[in-house]
Structure 1
Amino acid sequence: MTSDPRAVPPPQRTLPAMLQRQASLFGSRPLLRIAGRQWTHADAAAAAATRAGALAQHGVARGDRIAVMCGNRIEFLDTFLGAGWLGASVVPVNTASMGPQIEYFLANSEAKLLVIEAGFLDRLATADLARTALREVWVVGDAQAEAPWTPPAGVRVSAYPSGAQALPPAAVQPGDPLAILYTSGTTGPAKGVICPQAQYFWWGVNSAEVLGVGRDDVLCTTLPLFHINALNTFAQAALTGAEVVFESRFSASGFWPSMRANGATVVYLLGAMVPILLAQPEGEGERNHRVRTGLGPGVPAAAGQAFKARTGVALLEGYGSTETNFAIATAPDSPRGGVMGWLRPGFQACVADEDDVPLPPGEAGELLLRADEPYAFASGYFHMPEKTVEAWRNLWFHTGDRVVRDADGAFRFVDRIKDAIRRRGENISSFEVEQVLLSHPGVASCAVYPVRSELAEDEVMAALVAREGVAIDPAELARFCEGRLPYFAVPRYIDLLPDLPRTENGKVQKFKLRERGVGPQTWDGRPVKAG
């Protein structure tokens, strides 16, 4: 059996084959530490087989969907691996989601089973589960102690099953769906990205190559498992024989103590996390660690340089999305910084105008991508054929991001073409925020758009027009949103306007609102924090 992941034959680029391969190659080597639990590489395959048996006992079959709303706990990975072993698909749900979002994810994905942490059960009280295909709920933790909740008729609720008879792996194919990951819609509801088995394999291969991950590395992340970044970190360890540690959440003051305690050699950061760490007082602990490298997509160049000077850790840049793969990246010996990086082997890229005509170096256009290997990209949007055709038209995936390709082949990010907002590592749909604002009885019309923050990321801003005779209190409106939106999507800035700028046909001109930005009349609620 080859130890080179790239030499794995196409039929074996599946999660069950990956788990069997790692058990054979790496056996008793440590693989996982999470919330006080540990696995070896052999344990992962055994856990997947046993969880597949429990799923099958409860009526889950190949092709079904299983929603998971859980923090960084072993039950998340247990369910993910078990579903992949069985040939079912996991639907990760952002733990900040409220009732309306949970209902939408369940209804759109047609999930039969929901695995949910007890602390989130009360969110289901505002979700109309009768409009979904849900039949059963598995509760992780003490449901009675955390959040009493009465399930609707036809939905069984039980504790997360502890054991079952192990099943042999299903004969899954590289193109079979492994997960449906919801990414925020830009002009409509969130889209469920269908991630095939082989895409997950290639995420692990490409990311491990970029970071130079080997069997002696300890990967440590504070990012949530409901996003591809952390899920992909598990694949990196599984493919290389390394060990991965998942922390429950990011803490600026606790980051370096945690990295030292875990013996981390590779870390994973998002753009805004680095300025937050740099805002902490300098200390000896920033140098007294084993970290040799890290992934830091979206980190401002100046912040990356300051981070290296203080910690000795050079962060690598790169580009990938839920729909694609790690297609563009820098390297430790890259000739310059301030760029997303250079195209990686196995991918093709094009910078094109609005008609998909390639543009010469130096001109800004939309980044189009495609992969050489089958199923290295997502296979479409679940139950959204029109959106799938639109995004994958002309045999290219249209990223919606405006970039420039320089003469030396490096790609530089310019801005987003899509009407989306990115804050705290989360994609926010302006459409969804607008729908919540419009449900308030005092709001006649609104527009939601990004403005830049002091952390080099987006903040959510809303321009509102009140109904005639109604006085809107921005603070009250923000509280109204808190119970209906994830915390990171609640507008920080609110402007009250007599009207919104519009085109001749009535379309709101958001670019004018973005140019107007935050003014002295703008209400500032400060960022809403989790917990």
Structure 2
Amino acid sequence: MTENAPVNVSDAVGRENVTPAWACAVTSFPPSDRILSTILTGQAERHGDRVLLVAGETRWSFAQTAAIAAASAQALVDAGIRPGDRVALMCSNRPEFLQVYLGCAWLGAIAVPINTALRGFQLSHIFRNSRPALLVVEAQFVDAIESVEAGVDLPPRTWIVGAAAGAVDARLSAVPLPALGAAAPAGAVRPGDTVAILYTSGTTGPAKGVCCPQAQLFWWGIYSARALGIREGDVLFTTLPLFHTNALNAFYQALLNGCTYVLEPKFSASGFWAAAQRHKATVGYLLGAMASMLLAQPNNASDRAHRLRVALGGGVPPQIHGPFLQRFGVPLVDGYGSTETNFVFAGTIPSDRPGTMGYLADGIEARIVDENDSALPDGQAGELVLRAGEPFAFATGYFGMPEKTVEAWRNLWFHSGDRVVRDADGHYRFIDRMKDSIRRRGENVSSWEVEQTIQSHPAVAACAIYPLPSELGEDEVAAAILLEPGQSLEPVDIVRHCEGQIAYFAIPRYVRILIQMPLTENGKIKKGVLREAGITTDTWDREAAGVRVRR
């Protein structure tokens, strides 16, 4: 935390003389040792038979995990994979995913996790861009590979995880995932070598493959553990998908801090607390709408029958924090990070300003800049740019996209694309994405500010603000609304609720009341889907209805 940040004492009471596990890991693994093979070997010696991974019926100890990584690396070598080769991985939350990932990291090959929802053009782009030498695909997703465009070269080798239900695409040279046997020696891997290429969703063009070096994942484990107050022996419980940064770095949190990593297949609002109780989880991971979904469940006597001490709450609306803590007894930690950066901002436990970014982490530099990269004063919104103090704590660029890399990392700062405000006390507030900003008749509209206003209505469960083209040029403000269970609301009620709370020009012209929001696997609203849908048959138009805004 910065010198201006409040001291988080929630985990320090009675533990004043205990050095945090993450701090021990920093000293145990100096810069040259921040590679996964060295970390696995060191932690296997330190923790031995302690359980590291729980996934369904699978249990791996620290020692077994190191052995599995070495054996998986040998299986890759036997398949002709060499350091630097890419291995595409399309698999759900199951131990085979981690087995292949660890093998790649041990050997020095590069894992390319693929979102299991991708099809057609999106999937084709990833194969075209990453050019993998091997595809590892779960049987249930083999059909997705058939949607890859005909002109795209598929990998020369394919391993199938699980039993394929039918015939496999003739373009794939497919065999079952090989059994593990002999162990390979650790490859000559350096902290700056790419361990994974993680594809971010493309908002203005094709998805970009973020090159994540070995040391970046080390620092994800350190910074996240520090922000969440993780202790040795904690049970880290995630339902988020492994093909994204959050769940993958939670594995590093467990590995570096002597914890157990519990991987569930997917998020279930009705089953979350029962699973947390069954696993005796102490730390949880929630994003976006997931906390709201849990609160929407019927009250249950078992709402507090768990051991969860804290949960990540990045992107959770501010009005959710208090009721969530009151009902479930779990504080939500505000935070901010991206695939390209790290866990660079975190709030206190519990949050002093719910729903915001928190304070800048030690070891990170941040500026708020204008369009010319000149620093702006506190209180003025601009683009957030970031720089790491530790070597290879951030990503190194976009794979095969040098122009995009130079654009994002220009002037030696990573440009986040987020509009942010820094308050005088060192607290940072997210306003909106630079590209999500709406300009209506000469006025700039913050989608975030409008969303907060609408979500303060007791009948509203979630809201997304996005631009639609105006007949007069520039944009009109559109709102997609999800109601709380059992609630009813007319579109005009949204307009009346906004009057007097936000500027008249920011009040939505278009309102859609939806039964279900389009969500990513991480529970974030897909605004792109709403924008692309445009004016639909269920879109209410304030001007067509003759409703005037009261100024």
- TM normalised by structure 2 equals 0.77
Aligned residue runs from structure 1 range 205-284, under 5 A: 205-284=222-301
2:36 touches 2:214 (CA, 8 Å); kept in 1? Answer: yes
Residue number in structure 1 paired with 2:134? 113
Aligned residue runs from structure 1 range 337-352, under 5 A: 337-352=354-369
Residue number in structure 2 paired with 1:519? 541
Percent identity, aligned pairs only, is: 50
The CA deviation string for residues 472-527 of structure 1, in whole angstroms up to 9 with x for no partner, is xxxxxxxxxxxxxxx96884573459xxxxxxxxxxxxxxxxxxx863799xxxxx
Aligned residue runs from structure 1 range 142-157, under 5 A: 142-143=163-164, 145=165, 147-152=166-171, 155-157=172-174
In the alignment, which of 41, 64, 79 is matched to residue 20 of structure 1? 41
2:22 touches 2:256 (CA, 8 Å); kept in 1? Answer: no
Q: Which SS does the other structure have where 2:302 is aligned? A: helix
Letter matched to residue 418 of structure 1: K
What is the total number of aligned residue pairs between the two structures?
451
After superposing the two structures, state which structure 1 stretch, 193-202 or 488-497, moved more.
Answer: 488-497
TM-fit CA distance, 1:132: 2.4
Aligned residue runs from structure 1 range 369-380, under 5 A: 369-380=386-397
Tell me, yes or no, if structure 1 residue 122 matches structure 2 residue 148: no
Gaps of 5+ in 1: 423-429, 431-446, 457-486, 498-516, 523-531
In structure 2, what is the Cα distance between the partners aligned to 1:189 and 1:350? 28
Q: Which SS does the other structure have where 2:284 is aligned? A: strand
TM-fit CA distance, 1:338: 3.8
TM-fit CA distance, 1:386: 0.6
Residue number in structure 2 paired with 1:454? 482
In structure 1, what is the Cα distance between the partners aligned to 2:477 and 2:91? 29
Q: Which SS does the other structure have where 1:401 is aligned? A: strand
Residue number in structure 2 paired with 1:181? 198
In structure 2, what is the Cα distance between the partners aligned to 1:104 and 1:414? 31
Q: What is the alpha-carbon root mean square deviation over aligned residues?
A: 2.9
The CA deviation string for residues 185-224 of structure 1, in whole angstroms up to 9 with x for no partner, is 2321100000000001000011111111122210001100
TM-fit CA distance, 1:2: 11
Tell me, yes or no, if structure 1 residue 405 matches structure 2 residue 426: no
In structure 1, what is the Cα distance between the partners aligned to 2:530 and 2:315? 21
TM-fit CA distance, 1:103: 1.8
The CA deviation string for residues 149-206 of structure 1, in whole angstroms up to 9 with x for no partner, is 2322xx4100011123210100100000000000022321100000000001000011
1:65 touches 1:110 (CA, 8 Å); kept in 2? Answer: yes
In the alignment, which of 20, 26, 51 is matched to residue 6 of structure 1? 26
TM-fit CA distance, 1:228: 0.5
The CA deviation string for residues 71-110 of structure 1, in whole angstroms up to 9 with x for no partner, is 0000000000000000000001001111322221111001
Tell me, yes or no, if structure 1 residue 141 matches structure 2 residue 141: no
The CA deviation string for residues 424-460 of structure 1, in whole angstroms up to 9 with x for no partner, is xxxxxx9xxxxxxxxxxxxxxxx9998554389xxxx
2:22 touches 2:226 (CA, 8 Å); kept in 1? Answer: no
TM-fit CA distance, 1:304: 1.1
In the alignment, which of 316, 319, 322 is matched to residue 305 of structure 1? 322
In structure 2, what is the Cα distance between the partners aligned to 1:339 and 1:170? 42
The CA deviation string for residues 39-71 of structure 1, in whole angstroms up to 9 with x for no partner, is 001111100000000000001100000010100
Do the aligned partners of residues 333 and 249 (structure 1) sit closer, same or farther apart at CA in structure 2, a change above 3 Å counting? Answer: closer
TM-fit CA distance, 1:336: 3.6
Residue number in structure 1 paired with 2:405? 388
The CA deviation string for residues 367-406 of structure 1, in whole angstroms up to 9 with x for no partner, is 1100001100000000110100000011110000001101
1:276 touches 1:455 (CA, 8 Å); kept in 2? Answer: no
2:333 touches 2:351 (CA, 8 Å); kept in 1? Answer: no
In the alignment, which of 210, 220, 225 is matched to residue 193 of structure 1? 210
Do the aligned partners of residues 518 and 250 (structure 1) sit closer, same or farther apart at CA in structure 2, a change above 3 Å counting? Answer: farther
TM-fit CA distance, 1:128: 3.1
List, as ranges, runs of 4+ consecutive aligned residues in structure 1 with deviation greater than 6 Å. 447-450, 487-490
Residue number in structure 2 paired with 1:323? 340
Q: Which SS does the other structure have where 2:394 is aligned? A: coil
Do the aligned partners of residues 139 and 520 (structure 1) sit closer, same or farther apart at CA in structure 2, a change above 3 Å counting? Answer: farther
